[in-house]
Amino acid sequence: MDSLTHVYFAWRLAEVSGTDPGSAYAALFPQIDRNPPYFHRLYAHNFALARELSRIGQEVMATGKIPPRFKDNYAWKRFLEERPRIVAYREKFAQAAGVSLPAPGRDALSGAIAYLSHIYFDTYNNPVQAFLPEIAYALIAQTARSCFVKVPPRVVASTYNAIGIGEPPDSRELREATDFIREKEDLTIRLTLEYGRMKPRLKRSDRPPLPV
């Protein structure tokens, strides 16, 4: 789903629900987890964080700055980094839809609706991890283990703190989440090998043409 489609969908939702169309930009807020890439759809694409992250995003979009006390917070920094790109959709939206999009608004309900519309829309092109917030903790540890050099525990701990998603998990929680990931990885590998060995049922010349 392209970004302009997300903004347009959020704008239409605001129109039919009577909420603030100036919060349509919040439809792009889940994209802050594109950097670093291995967080994508595992951090900000999460219903449990929608209210807090939409509030932070609306503040940054409206003011163009972050409070000094949050200068090292992952979410605040990422919203500030993404702000030029997100705000640029005001002009792109006007060109595509022929309608002027208001400046970024701060209404909490409108922002939450727009934010969640992104996650809802994403279910049509790829499953998202909206209901698995704890798995992101295990991904950090797994990423550290897969590095060519040994990553000290203090670096892993500082990563938890930097992204501002709560206290690090205890050993039991981390073990359970890691086991879950490994189970899915093993299943993916097995299915890939199984279906990769299968011969195609149709010859290339017999296959239906791809849609234009």
In tens, the pLDDT along 9-28 reads 999 999 989 999 999 999 99
pLDDT at 202: 46
Is 60 within 8 Å of 52 (Cβ atoms)?
no
Mean confidence (pLDDT) of the chain: 81
Q: 4-18, 132-146, 187-201 — which is least confidently predicted? A: 187-201
Q: Which residues contact 28 (CB under 8 A, 6 or more apart)?
A: 3, 6, 7, 82, 86, 89, 118
Q: Is the pLDDT of residue 1 over 60?
A: no
Q: Where are the domains of the chain?
A: 3-122, 135-196
78-130 per-position pLDDT tens digit? 999 999 999 999 888 888 888 888 999 999 999 999 999 998 888 776 666 55
Q: What is the pTM of this model?
A: 0.63
Cα gap 201→41, rounded to integer Å: 34
